[in-house]
């Protein structure tokens, strides 16, 4: 891939054109609903919202108008997303509530640049990408009927940005992760897109048969994990704010996309298996697309670091879906989070050694086996463990966002953006390949400009060297 950098300087800007508040249709007569948080939701209170960009080039007339109408129609099924997260003072638990009249912020913006400048795989400034996403409306303060002071946090916000020269537009989706995981967000986006496509084609709306399951009682908590995690959240709320971030140098931070072809994945797998045979060790059984891409990228990122003592352990953090891993059944249409915080690690010296890739995949294998044995094991340490990460993964190739069709075909590009700005933690985003039959993997990496050039060389040359050794 090219290492040329986008350079628009001070000429790049985004102007807000209009702002709307989209509610479910008035005739839908949706009753108010209150949803308590579960132990799956609480750890996400520590992290910034989920942010995803969808880029489209071929836009028909009245597309934005249709987006607004179809969003309202989709919200009548996923109406809690139009609600708010309410945070009372301890020891009262946070909860989600939807009441009649609640809405989603919908912003229309315009930028002077061409869509190709921000939708490619090349390095793009994270500030420019972030400008295509609206932030969730600022928290507000209100008192409930018992005169308890509540912090009110909206759950979903949308920004549609039209690019210069009518080259296309982006749809930026910002969602509160404590309200829904990517599985739930995907279900909502897919319904929104299907309604939009039907309206554009003047077709009847297809009946929605997979209504979200809102009953939180399906999540069992025999070990009282929720109480443990809530205490950690309350302690965090009462602790001094941590201002450690890279905001001062954000203008030098870029995000690039790297692509693993099916042949690249096959090469990595064959190398790991062959190396294990030479070492007379059992190869990992779960060399999945996710595991293979994550471990290879992790090794490349570690090689960039300038560490004085690489005998310290380093950790990779990821999320694992629990919708099918718990020891009891949960409806697949369950609305909310149902994922755990996973982490595995090794000594940095081992990962940077001759057998580093084998070491990484074997360590991941041990973690996967632990999840199979007991999905919730170590749940009381999820928050603490994630404070010790070297690399954090956002997204999964199992969630087919490229398969979402608003009636204008597949997105040209899908980009996940990390709102967390902790300089010591690398961020890796994951998407499946754009072509469903491809079997490839898109990896997004966030680094400084100089480091991105080094990483690109390491990434590409490493794949070439592995192919030679297979």
Q: Write down the pLDDT at residue 1.
A: 40
Residue 142: pLDDT band (50, 70, 90) is: confident
The reported pLDDT for the residue numbered 305 is 80
Question: 425 vs 120, which has greater pLDDT?
Answer: 120
Report long-range pairs for 435-440 (Cβ below 8 Å, ≥24 apart). 436/400, 436/402, 436/403, 438/261, 438/262, 439/262, 439/265, 439/289, 440/259, 440/260, 440/261, 440/262, 440/264, 440/265
Is the pLDDT confidence value at 246 over 70? Answer: no
Confidence grade of residue 241 (pLDDT, cut at 50, 70, 90): low
Mean pLDDT to the nearest integer, 219-230: 94
Q: Is 31 in contact with 153 (CB distance < 8 Å)?
A: no
Neighbour count for residue 55 (Cβ, 10 Å): 23
Stronger pLDDT, 309 or 304, i.e. the higher one: 304
Instruction: Convert the pLDDT of each residue in 395-436 to its tens digit.
Output: 999 899 999 999 999 999 999 998 665 455 688 999 988 875
Rounded average pLDDT over 60-73: 97
pLDDT tops 70 at residue 126 = yes
Percent with pLDDT over 70 in the chain:
92
Q: Is the pTM here over 0.85, yes or no?
A: yes
pLDDT, average across residues 174-192: 96
Domains of the chain: 9-238 (3.30.559.10), 251-469 (3.30.559.10)
> Reading across the β-sheet that carries 95-98, which strands appear in turn?
33-36, 95-98, 84-87, 149-154, 140-143
pLDDT higher than threshold 50 for residue 140: yes
Residue-level pLDDT at 424: 56
Residue 7: pLDDT above 80? no
């Amino acid at each position: 891939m090219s290492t040329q950098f986008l350079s628009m300087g001070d000429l790049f800007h985004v102007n807000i054109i209009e702002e709307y508040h989209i509610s479910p249709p008035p005739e839908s007569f949706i009753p108010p609903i209150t949803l308590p948080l579960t132990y799956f939701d609480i750890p996400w209170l520590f992290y910034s919202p989920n942010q995803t960009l969808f880029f489209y080039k071929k836009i028909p007339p009245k597309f934005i108008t249709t987006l607004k109408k179809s969003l309202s129609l989709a919200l009548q099924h996923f109406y809690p997303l139009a609600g708010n997260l309410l945070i009372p003072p301890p020891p009262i638990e946070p909860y989600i509530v939807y009441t009649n009249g609640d809405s989603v912020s919908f912003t229309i913006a315009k930028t002077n640049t061409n869509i190709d400048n921000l939708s490619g795989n090349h390095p793009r400034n994270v500030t420019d990408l972030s400008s295509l996403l609206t932030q969730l409306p600022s928290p507000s303060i209100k008192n409930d009927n018992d005169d308890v002071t509540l912090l009110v946090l909206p759950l979903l916000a949308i920004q549609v940005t039209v690019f210069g020269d009518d080259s296309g537009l982006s749809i930026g989706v910002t969602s509160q992760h404590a309200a829904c995981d990517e599985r739930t967000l995907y279900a909502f986006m897919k319904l929104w897109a299907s309604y939009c496509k039907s309206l554009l084609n003047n077709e009847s709306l297809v009946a929605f048969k997979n209504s979200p399951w809102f009953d939180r009682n399906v999540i069992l908590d025999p070990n009282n994990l929720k109480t443990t995690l809530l205490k950690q959240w309350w302690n965090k709320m009462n602790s001094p704010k941590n201002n450690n971030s890279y905001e001062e140098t954000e203008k030098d931070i870029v995000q690039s996309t790297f692509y693993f072809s099916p042949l690249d994945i096959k090469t990595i797998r064959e190398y790991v298996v062959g190396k294990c045979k030479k070492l007379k060790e059992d190869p990992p059984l779960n060399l999945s697309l996710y595991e293979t891409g994550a471990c290879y990228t992790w090794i490349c990122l570690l090689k960039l670091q300038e560490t004085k003592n690489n005998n310290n352990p380093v950790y990779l953090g990821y999320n694992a879906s629990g919708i099918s891993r718990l020891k009891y059944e949960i409806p697949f249409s369950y609305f909310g989070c149902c994922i755990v915080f996973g982490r595995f690690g090794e000594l940095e010296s081992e990962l940077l050694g001759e057998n580093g890739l084998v070491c990484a995949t074997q360590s991941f294998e041990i973690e996967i086996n632990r999840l199979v044995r007991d999905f919730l094991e170590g749940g009381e340490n999820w928050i603490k463990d994630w404070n010790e990460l070297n690399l954090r993964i956002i997204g999964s190739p199992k969630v087919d966002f490229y398969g979402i069709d608003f009636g204008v075909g597949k997105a040209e590009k899908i980009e996940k953006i990390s709102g967390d700005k902790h300089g010591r933690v690398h961020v890796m985003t994951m998407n499946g390949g754009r072509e469903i039959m491809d079997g490839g993997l898109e990896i997004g990496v966030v680094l400084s400009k100089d480091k991105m050039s080094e990483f690109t060389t390491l990434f590409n040359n490493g794949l070439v060297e592995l192919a030679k050794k297979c």
